[in-house]
Structure 1
Amino acid sequence: MTQPTLTFWGAAGTVTGSRFLVETDASRILVDAGLYQGPRELRQRNWEEFAVDPRTLDGVVLTHAHLDHCGYLPRLVRDGLDAPVLCTAETAELAAIVLRDSARLQEEDAAYATEAGFSKHDPALPLYDERDVERTLPLLRPVPLHDDVPLTEDSLVTLRSAGHILGATSVLVDAAGSRALFSGDLGRPGHPLVPRRENPPEADVVVVESTYGDRTHPAPPGGPADDVLADAIRRTVARGGSVLVPAFAIDRTELVLLRVGELMTSGAVPTVPVHLDSPMALRALDVYRRALAGVDPRLLPPGWDVETFGVPDLRIVRSADESVALNTPRQPCVIISASGMATGGRVVHHLAHQLGDARNCVVLTGYQAVGTRGRALLEGAREVKMHGRYVPVRAEVVNDPEFSVHADADEVLEWLSRCPSPPRAVYAVHGEPQAARALADRVTDELGWLAVVPRFGERVRLD
């Protein structure tokens, strides 16, 4: 009998494009089907023929609904995938939002490429379109946490809470008796809106994220006086500017709203209009509202409100005209808009109009991948390119790591240390090379376990 194997077809040497193939004599299972994001050479991988014929896959398992974990699914379906996609019910609901939005952007990009004449196809082709997404969604098969779900005759899949976003899980695959645990994106211990991550189960190998593998998050602020966001809002409003927060549409928007509401209701910052300008974030917000409606209020932050998340003057931006008006606000305000790395969406238009004004402030609230506008701003760029033009950066740019929902290096080590027994190997993935190497070294030095940073396309045995 051929021994079970694992091949790293994504998130190896980079943060995005999570795709891990588990194979036995009787099964082929793909854990995550993420899009590559960031530099062009990575994004080009989305267009290359996938190393495995999608028609031969027996199933896909999604850890969660972020684009770099689920965004490649419609392309697989376009190329022949017709197998169940296991995930939690919340992930299925959020993935529908993410994939429909992604298809729309793919089609818009193709239309722009055709109009501008820089595609080798005429008309330019999207990676996938809305029809592919609608063919994908019926394949999503929600399963409960902790159930051992048979996927093939020799494989079982079990999901456990990862505490990252609503519905996020770690995935245990029992492949012909060899157990591979995929951490997915691990959340931090204190996420106020989703179930906490669970301890890892017994596993032969662990594939663990290393997004923050070379750093630790700052200690939580002691109060509003030393709160990065509060200070930025106070400063900006005092000089007559507006605060622009690029935020991921799923989970990050909810956390930012929650924190802004706390600051304003406590009087720590002035109460100004808070504009939520992201159609995708609004749809995700509804999913969170439904999920949280039945939660015991005592388990939620004080003053939390299911409709406004505690924001005194929350204004929902629905039309394109309303969004355009926010490019040049008439009064100091807070604008929350996607995408979180400023790679697309309405926030790019706001940045194009507001970065040139020194009264304004941009608050970055999460990981900024290499090659994104967010990363350029984080690293002090004096100008950024948007819509074919360079825009000067005169606005203040602030990084607030409080909103990260990725475990840092210490938190990942603590999670790994709770394994019932040492795994035979730990593979550090989903991190830039330096971060993955740093985490692997700490696993070896502090836990005494074998830890490896796998190469793209590398195949290893699971037994």
Structure 2
Amino acid sequence: MLIEDRLKELRDKINTKVPAGITISDVEFEGPELVIYTDDPKKFADQEDLIRVLARELRKRIVVRPNILEDPETAATKIKSVVPDNAGISDIFFDPDTGEVLIEAEKPGIVIGKNGATLRDITKSTCWTPKVVRTPPIESSTVKQVRQYLRSVKDERKTFLRTIGRRIHRDVIAKDQWVRVTTLGCCREVGRAAFLLTTPESRVLIDCGEKPGSTTSTPYLYVPEISPLSSLDAVVLTHAHLDHCALVPLLFKYGYDGPVYSTPPTRDLAAMLQLDYLDVVKKESGRQPYTSNEVKEYIKHSITLNYGSVTDIAPDIKLTFHNAGHILGSAIAHFHLGDGLYNIAFTGDFNYQKTRLFSPAVSTFPRLEALFMESTYGGANALQPAREDAEAKLYDIVTRTIERGGKVIIPAFAVGRSQEVMLALEEGMRKEKIPRVKVYLDGMIKEATAIHTTYPEYLNADLRNQIFRDGMNPFLAECFVQVDSSDLREKVIGGDPCVIVTTSGMLSGGPVMEYLYALAPDERNTLVFVGYQAEGTFGRRLQKGWREIPVGNRETMVVKLDIDTVDGFSGHSDRKQLMGFIQHIQPRPEKIFTIHGDENSTIDLASSIYKRFHIETRSPLNLETYRMV
């Protein structure tokens, strides 16, 4: 059936469900959504359950959009007149893509009104569909810039979404039924995550990252299975760490022109880290794999999905994101293939325990036949201490170092580990478990923290309540000081005892190298690792006991400071949690592939899962293809 015929059929069905007096002027696929255009948005607003009924019966994501949207400036004035002043509106952002207006307010409940009455009034008076969020405690320049950029390319976005919409909803013409996965990276290694999911009809790439500390840092993007890149239906991004997202913009440089699906926080964090990655790479080698223009292309082609939203991304593939508990917005990507043919999930990085920031990873799915799961700590002895014990050890190191007049350097990923460490340090000082000293934040940590507060719905309930109900935001504690200049960095290095939390987490570049170069010769200081150190990185070398590190063509850094590792802060599940995840997963998959770990870890975990649960397991190599059906 032609797309035009399918749209006509859908329009006829919609007309039979819509009450008299509501005119449907057009129906169009835009990205994964079916958009209903109408001259009567106010009447639609009065029909509270109509969109839900249509979505259920048509099995599509439905958006209602007026043919003519009120001018944003006029609409903003009307919104402020409808919403009571005590709501504390801080920003209004209009998204022509969706016909939505995002209203940031200190008291979202007042904007919503009783049973949503104020929201309906906004729609009636402006024709825009309101979405309300709480005003972030810390303003994010990244989020603001992403929103402004998307608004500036609204016409291009609309063309793109219509093109993708028609491609997603094209007819399935292949008579064969099979599912294959090709491993393009991240197998028996940590880094350069990339997997190709293929059916006779569609091709989807899951993640596209770099490998820290390696000369072979890119996935196998040149093999025939993925060429040409323009033939990919979609890219799915599980989370924003560079070993999963760094090279997504590279795809656009070499011909990809399709959508990138992720959660909203992942889109913003990935863009921030990709731009920072370009700066670091340029300083180190003078060469960049892509430019900021490709990062803009990535943003322009991004389509964001919330947890639990079942979405068509190809004619025979539905995608659902589930909380992975790893970092802000991290997701387990679940794919439903064909008309009930097969279900497969990719965990990305995940954490199967509650942390200060996040709830545990989801382990229940509607259906599941195959699972690709990370194995960073999959080795038999890779056990992490309890979070309380880890924090006690960190407090002891900090106290001991400060009391002898030293400084504590904590290299951490800007996203995830930094915020966990910040929360632990803030509580430690507030409860007088460690001396009250300044905690200096360097690199992208402050901006990453601001993005965390922009998306509070992705944090666990305890932290949300602490920030918004109890009015005690630990991220705004007086102890934290942002290092935003080289002058201040020099003062920190030469100043009083303190704690320095800085990027990068594996000593693969970034501000941490300046601190280390200056502070390494002083044995009063301490370097504390709180995250995984990949093979080949400076961090792993120091963990192994190296005391001389080459830092230039002829220079060597002599390391005399204490070096400590505090396990337990990692955003990854340890061996016990990985096995617990498989024990509790519902339904239990028929096949499990262990990835994202060194060779011993992936093999050991695969073997243990097979022995204990009698599930077919594999520890795949890169460049292998597995047929699932």
Q: TM-score, normalised by structure 2?
A: 0.67
Matched, 1:198 2:362: yes
Pick from 148, 156, 162: which aligns with 2:318? 156
What are the equivalent positions in structure 2 for 1:116-135 lying under 5 Å apart?
A: 125-135=287-297
Pick from 5, 13, 18: which aligns with 2:193? 18
2:368 & 2:408 partners in 1: Cα distance?
46
Pick from 303, 328, 332: which aligns with 1:170? 332
The alignment partner of 1:9 has SS state of strand
Residue 58 (structure 1) aligns with: 233
In the TM superposition, what is the alpha-carbon distance from 1:301 to its structure 2 partner? Answer: 8.5
The alignment partner of 2:578 has SS state of helix
In the TM superposition, what is the alpha-carbon distance from 1:39 to its structure 2 partner? Answer: 2.7
Residue 480 (structure 2) aligns with: 314
Residue 254 (structure 1) aligns with: 419
Matched, 1:457 2:623: yes
In the TM superposition, what is the alpha-carbon distance from 1:320 to its structure 2 partner? Answer: 2.5
Matched, 1:393 2:566: no
Pick from 367, 379, 387: which aligns with 2:544? 379
The alignment partner of 2:372 has SS state of strand
Matched, 1:445 2:611: yes
Residue 364 (structure 1) aligns with: 529
Spell out, residue by residue over 1:326-368, the C-alpha distance to the aligned partner (whole angstroms, 9 max, x if none): 3x33210001100000101001111111111101000101000
The alignment partner of 1:417 has SS state of helix
In the TM superposition, what is the alpha-carbon distance from 1:65 to its structure 2 partner? Answer: 0.6
Residue 167 (structure 2) aligns with: none
* Cα distance change, pair 449–310 in 1 and its aligned pair in 2 (3 A): same
Residue 306 (structure 2) aligns with: 144
* Cα distance change, pair 23–293 in 1 and its aligned pair in 2 (3 A): closer
1:452 & 1:305 partners in 2: Cα distance?
49
Residue 383 (structure 2) aligns with: 216
Q: Which moved more, 1:70-79 or 1:169-178?
A: 169-178
In the TM superposition, what is the alpha-carbon distance from 1:190 to its structure 2 partner? Answer: 1.8
Q: Which moved more, 1:427-436 or 1:232-241?
A: 232-241
Q: Which moved more, 1:237-246 or 1:307-316?
A: 307-316
Residues 348, 386 of structure 1: 8 Å contact kept: no
Residues 177, 200 of structure 2: 8 Å contact kept: yes
In the TM superposition, what is the alpha-carbon distance from 1:161 to its structure 2 partner? Answer: 0.6
In the TM superposition, what is the alpha-carbon distance from 1:416 to its structure 2 partner? Answer: 1.7
In the TM superposition, what is the alpha-carbon distance from 1:262 to its structure 2 partner? Answer: 1.0
Residues 271, 312 of structure 1: 8 Å contact kept: no
Spell out, residue by residue over 1:228-261, the C-alpha distance to the aligned partner (whole angstroms, 9 max, x if none): 1111111111111100000100011111111111
Residues 193, 209 of structure 2: 8 Å contact kept: yes
**Deviation beyond 6 Å, 4+ runs, structure 1:** 293-297, 301-306
Matched, 1:270 2:435: yes
Q: Share of identical aligned residues, percent? A: 29
Residue 260 (structure 2) aligns with: 85
Matched, 1:434 2:434: no
Q: Which amino acid aligns with 2:548?
A: E
Residue 405 (structure 1) aligns with: 571
In the TM superposition, what is the alpha-carbon distance from 1:308 to its structure 2 partner? Answer: 4.7
Pick from 94, 98, 110: which aligns with 2:273? 98
Spell out, residue by residue over 1:195-220, the C-alpha distance to the aligned partner (whole angstroms, 9 max, x if none): 43111422111100000001111233
Q: Which moved more, 1:211-220 or 1:341-350?
A: 211-220
Pick from 454, 461, 474: which aligns with 1:290? 454
Spell out, residue by residue over 1:71-129, the C-alpha distance to the aligned partner (whole angstroms, 9 max, x if none): 11011110011111111111111111111112222333343xxxxxxxxxxxxx42111
1:305 & 1:213 partners in 2: Cα distance?
40
Root-mean-square deviation (CA, aligned residues, Å) is 2.2
1:293 & 1:459 partners in 2: Cα distance?
38
Residue 342 (structure 1) aligns with: 507
* Cα distance change, pair 285–321 in 1 and its aligned pair in 2 (3 A): same
In the TM superposition, what is the alpha-carbon distance from 1:294 to its structure 2 partner? Answer: 9.9
Residue 155 (structure 2) aligns with: none
* Cα distance change, pair 307–317 in 1 and its aligned pair in 2 (3 A): farther
The alignment partner of 1:221 has SS state of helix
Larger Rg: 2
Spell out, residue by residue over 1:380-410, the C-alpha distance to the aligned partner (whole angstroms, 9 max, x if none): 1111222442111110011011211101111
Residues 17, 33 of structure 1: 8 Å contact kept: yes
Residues 363, 400 of structure 1: 8 Å contact kept: yes
1:23 & 1:194 partners in 2: Cα distance?
32
* Cα distance change, pair 55–128 in 1 and its aligned pair in 2 (3 A): same
Q: Would you tell me which structure has more helix in proportion to its own residues?
A: 2
Pick from 325, 330, 339: which aligns with 2:495? 330
In the TM superposition, what is the alpha-carbon distance from 1:292 to its structure 2 partner? Answer: 3.0
Residues 274, 311 of structure 1: 8 Å contact kept: no
* Cα distance change, pair 22–301 in 1 and its aligned pair in 2 (3 A): same
1:19 & 1:273 partners in 2: Cα distance?
40
Residues 89, 143 of structure 1: 8 Å contact kept: yes
Q: Which amino acid aligns with 2:239?
A: H
Q: Which amino acid aligns with 1:147?
A: S
Residue 132 (structure 2) aligns with: none
Residues 200, 415 of structure 1: 8 Å contact kept: no
1:9 & 1:259 partners in 2: Cα distance?
37
Structure 1, unmatched stretches of 5+, are: 112-124
Count of matched residue pairs: 444
1:298 & 1:3 partners in 2: Cα distance?
44
* Cα distance change, pair 449–242 in 1 and its aligned pair in 2 (3 A): same
Q: Which amino acid aligns with 1:20?
A: F
In the TM superposition, what is the alpha-carbon distance from 1:300 to its structure 2 partner? Answer: 5.3
Q: Which amino acid aligns with 2:566?
A: D
1:395 & 1:87 partners in 2: Cα distance?
41
Q: TM-score, normalised by structure 1?
A: 0.91
In the TM superposition, what is the alpha-carbon distance from 1:433 to its structure 2 partner? Answer: 0.3
What are the equivalent positions in structure 2 for 1:42-57 lying under 5 Å apart?
A: 42-43=216-217, 45=218, 49=222, 52=226, 53-57=228-232
2:465 & 2:602 partners in 1: Cα distance?
34
